[in-house]
């Protein structure tokens, strides 16, 4: 089967294409499919026009047109669709019903209706983009928010099949009227490589984050409580905020006297990530209980489990799908910072429990959430026949 993936942005900056689409493509290739990824690298313009092959997958960055208002968006969409259909695919899989991938899906749907193509159109949703989702934290204009919310609804209901990264997204798709037989639950799988070296010295607690998932004050409160119980404890922060949110957390840490016990590593390149995660005893995964977090299927949680870390996570959305409380991690009620801190302290004081939880976390995510195991769900989305909503 010839499959084309269309992305909403480039491969290097954001995670959807590099951590979700590309692993999907790689496992499809091992099953005998031919897969190409077509990208609009507006977020990394140095890739404009660049093409390469990665483990049997053709990666194609379209040439970005001049940035004339409106015309730029139309030309980017046209170049994505033209390149995709030129490759004569059996399936076009658009990643996100939003932005350029969403516009491409819309164009292909119209081509289907006009009888210009018989390609099967599949749309992937790995986040809730509209109201209650990314619209609430993205620095979009009012017009963009309205358009993205409409585009999401339209894209999910005008395709042959939908793949979703979380059970919440599955329910949201059903609520829009998408027939259950056309919605395929495909959570994110494990793809982290084993560590080659460790940071020194080892740290007690790791926070691996993009910072928008929680209120900084809550995390600092957890750190304070842990520091009071474990005086030798040190904290490692890995990640970078979307809009400089890390600055608030670091400022609060300084105000609370935690700065000398905290190391901020910032953004870490994928090749060094596994070694960085291996530098901690316990990982924390805080989540505010909101629609955005309930709908997400965080690759970061998958990474933490694949690294064999003992994890304390707030029980929001996909957390309980991956973590079995008391077996592959510890879950606490969202917003209960006291219980969260007590669980962290418990793990720091119990090396045997840390090891048992970490080993089971790694086994669970690498076996039960391996892309090799999830690939049949993707193939089902490509093969099943269904009516396209009008």
Say how far apart CA 357 and CA 304 lie, in whole Å.
12
DSSP for 106-171? HHHHHHHHTTS---EEEEEESS--STTTGGGTS---HHHHHHHHHHHHHHHHSSSEEEESSHHHHH
Tokens standing for residue 192:
């982290």
Cross-strand bridge partners of residue 335: none
Cross-strand bridge partners of residue 330: 312
Identify the CA nearest to 206 among candidates 263, 272, 288. 263
Q: What is the CATH number of domain 2-189+371-383?
A: 3.40.50.2000
pLDDT block averages, 10 residues each, the chain of length 390: 97 88 96 97 95 96 94 97 97 97 98 96 97 92 95 97 97 97 95 53 86 95 95 92 91 94 89 84 96 93 94 97 97 97 97 96 94 95 61
Q: Is 361 in a helix, a strand, or coil?
A: helix
Question: What pLDDT was estimated at residue 15?
Answer: 81
Say how far apart CA 161 and CA 182 lie, in whole Å.
5
Question: What pLDDT was estimated at residue 386?
Answer: 44
Question: What pLDDT was estimated at residue 193?
Answer: 57
**What contacts 106, CB < 8 A, 6 or more positions away?**
151, 154, 155, 158
Identify the CA nearest to 321 among candidates 223, 215, 201, 187. 187
Question: What pLDDT was estimated at residue 181?
Answer: 95
| Structural element, H or E, at residue 85 | helix 71-86
Angle, vertex CA 387, rays to CA 385 and CA 388, nearest 5: 120
Query: Which CATH superfamily groups domain 203-368?
Result: Glycogen Phosphorylase B; (3.40.50.2000)
Would you give the distance in Å from CA 175 to the centre of its chain? 22
Say how far apart CA 275 and CA 208 lie, in whole Å.
13
Question: What pLDDT was estimated at residue 261?
Answer: 92
- The residue count for the chain: 390
Question: What pLDDT was estimated at residue 276?
Answer: 84
Cross-strand bridge partners of residue 55: none
Question: What pLDDT was estimated at residue 85?
Answer: 97
Tell me, what DSSP letter sits at residue 190? B
Number of continuous H segments (helices) and E segments (strands) in the chain: 15, 14
Its sign, for the CA torsion 332, 336, 339, 343, is positive
Domain ranges of the chain: 2-189+371-383, 203-368
In this structure, the number of other CB atoms found within 10 A of the CB of residue 303 comes to 23
DSSP for 313-347? EE--TTHHHH--BTTTBEEE-TT-HHHHHHHHHHH
CATH topology match: 2-189+371-383 vs 203-368: yes
Tokens standing for residue 368:
């039960």
Question: What pLDDT was estimated at residue 358?
Answer: 95
Question: What pLDDT was estimated at residue 194?
Answer: 55
């Amino acid at each position: 089967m010839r499959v084309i993936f269309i992305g909403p942005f480039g491969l290097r900056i954001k995670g959807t294409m590099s951590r979700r689409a590309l692993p999907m493509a790689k496992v499809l290739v091992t099953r005998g499919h031919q897969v190409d990824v077509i990208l609009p690298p507006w977020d990394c313009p140095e890739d404009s026009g660049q093409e390469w092959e990665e483990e049997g997958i053709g990666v194609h960055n379209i040439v970005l047109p001049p940035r004339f208002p409106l015309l730029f968006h139309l030309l980017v969409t046209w170049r994505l669709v033209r390149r995709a259909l030129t490759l004569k695919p059996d399936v076009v899989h658009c990643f996100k019903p939003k932005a350029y991938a969403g516009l491409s899906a819309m164009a292909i749907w119209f081509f289907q209706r006009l009888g210009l193509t018989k390609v099967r159109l599949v749309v992937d949703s790995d986040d809730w983009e509209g109201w209650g989702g990314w619209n609430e934290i993205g620095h979009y204009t009012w017009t963009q928010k309205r358009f993205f919310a409409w585009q999401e609804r339209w894209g999910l209901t005008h395709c042959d099949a939908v793949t979703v990264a979380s059970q919440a997204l599955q329910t949201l798709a059903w609520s829009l009227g998408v027939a259950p037989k056309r919605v395929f639950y495909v959570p994110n799988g494990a793809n982290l490589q084993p560590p080659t070296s460790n940071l020194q010295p080892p740290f007690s607690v790791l926070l691996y984050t993009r910072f928008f998932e929680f209120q900084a004050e809550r995390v600092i409160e957890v750190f304070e409580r842990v520091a009071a119980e474990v005086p030798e404890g040190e904290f490692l922060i890995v990640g970078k905020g979307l809009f400089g949110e890390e600055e608030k957390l670091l400022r609060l840490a300084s105000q609370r006297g935690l700065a000398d016990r905290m190391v901020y590593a910032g953004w870490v390149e994928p090749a060094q990530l596994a070694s960085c995660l291996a530098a901690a005893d316990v990982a924390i995964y805080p989540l505010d209980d909101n629609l955005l977090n309930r709908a997400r299927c965080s690759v970061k949680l998958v990474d933490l489990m694949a690294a064999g870390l003992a994890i304390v996570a707030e029980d929001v959305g996909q957390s309980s799908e991956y973590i079995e409380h008391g077996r592959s991690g510890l879950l606490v009620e969202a917003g209960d910072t006291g219980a969260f801190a007590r669980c962290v302290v418990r793990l720091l004081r119990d090396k045997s429990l840390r090891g048992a939880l970490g080993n089971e976390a790694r086994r669970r995510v690498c076996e039960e959430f391996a892309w090799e195991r999830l690939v049949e769900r993707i193939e089902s989305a490509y093969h099943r026949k269904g009516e396209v909503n009008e």
